[in-house]
Structure 1
Amino acid sequence: MCGRFTQQASWAEVVAFMQPIPLLAAEEAIEPAYNIAPSQPCWALRPGEDALEGARMRWGLLPGWAKEPRIAYSTFNARAETMAEKPAFRSAFRHRRCLVPASGYYEWKAEGKAKQPFYIHDEAAPILLFAALWEAPHPRFGELPSVSIVTREADGPVSALHHRVPLMLDPELGAQWCRGSADDAAGIAHAAPGPQLAWHPVDRRVGNVREQGPGLVKPVRSLL
């Protein structure tokens, strides 16, 4: 799963990372965020007429039929294996796919009574590109569009931290994810190679959603 992530890159850095895919940055600057949690706003990239476009969204998908806004606390992740069938996600999967540019994300590993957070990032690039689904603002509860990050089974060494990871794409596959058919997207979700990930233990303060700042991503001595 992905329950916390960071967005530290500027629009200029995101645009450069996305090359050769055209990207129209939002007018509002990206303010570095080191502890984005479900229900909080974040930045996403969605298809526009001629380019992907930066858009501010709230994390936790809120379908138009939702009767309570709290459903968003259970829809911040969509499983790649079931997103095409689940009522909360299937319409967005067919028609509204997008990307979330992240600098990294957090995962917790427990051993006995100790629970250590780790910060996970791309070993060779400044940005991870999460596949995502989005919905228009809810007619009753939403001022912003809402977004869900797609996850899949983890493989390789990172599976020792958690059995699921975000579905992470390179820019060209990301553009195909956004603009291709639902069948194209399903194929990408099934077979896309992941980036080379690195991780390190970080301060347990990250477990508090009110905590912010670059100190949250700095390495610390592990409790495990």
Structure 2
Amino acid sequence: RRRRCLVPASGYYEWQVTAHGKQPWYIHPVGGGCLAFAGLWEHWEGDGTVIESCTILTCAANASLAAVHDRMPVILAHADFARWLAPETAGPPPRDLLRAAPEATLALRAVSKRVNSPRHEGPECIRAVGDGTD
């Protein structure tokens, strides 16, 4: 509640259950650019260990993403950054910001199942594949 943050990302993955198994989709801003997910962070100390963690808040998916997954990250518009981060709002987060991104702001494409393995990195992980069955 008190420790709000922005988590920058160029996009994110969701997996859709299909007749061919789980198909990964890459979801990104239309026209490129960066997303800012609404997040919360915490600093934990115990047993001499320091752990810093964060979480990304989610909401119900908008109509264009609902076929892939029923949830999506809360994506904040640039105009809302200061309000989200404002220290004077130490209570519950501004609920009106915890909503799905507008329909026309995100694009999605089926990508290779290579993304399922942590051994694979690089641009091939976000390259579009055929009809979503690759």
Pairwise same-fold verdict (TM > 0.5):
yes
Cα offset for 1:112? 2.1
More helix by share: 1
Cα offset for 1:145? 1.8
Q: Classify 1:167/1:212 alpha carbon distance in 2 versus 1 (closer, same or farther; 3 Å).
A: same
Match in the other structure for 1:216: 125
Higher relative contact order (CA 8 A, sep 6+): 2
Match in the other structure for 1:188: 97
Cα offset for 1:183? 4.5
Q: Structure 2: how far apart are the matches of 1:144 and 1:187?
A: 31
Root-mean-square deviation (CA, aligned residues, Å) is: 2.2
Question: Share of identical aligned residues, percent?
Answer: 35
Tell me which stretches of 4 or more aligned residues in structure 1 moved more than 6 Å.
Answer: none
Secondary structure of 1:218's aligned partner: coil
Could you tell me whether the CA contact under 8 Å between 1:115 and 1:223 is conserved in 2?
A: no
Match in the other structure for 1:201: 110
Cα offset for 1:201? 0.9
Which amino acid in the other structure matches residue 158 of structure 1? L
Secondary structure of 1:159's aligned partner: coil
Which runs of 5 or more residues in structure 2 are unaligned?
none
Aligned counterparts, 1:15-26, within 5 A: none
TM-score, normalised relative to structure 1 = 0.52
More strand by share: 2
Cα offset for 1:178? 1.3
TM-score, normalised relative to structure 2 = 0.84
Aligned counterparts, 1:1-224, within 5 A: 93=1, 95-140=2-47, 143-179=50-86, 181=89, 182-183=91-92, 185-190=94-99, 193-194=101-102, 196-221=105-130, 222-223=132-133
Q: Structure 2: how far apart are the matches of 1:171 and 1:142?
A: 35
Q: Structure 2: how far apart are the matches of 1:217 and 1:185?
A: 33
Could you tell me whether the CA contact under 8 Å between 2:43 and 2:50 is conserved in 1?
A: no
Q: Structure 2: how far apart are the matches of 1:205 and 1:193?
A: 27
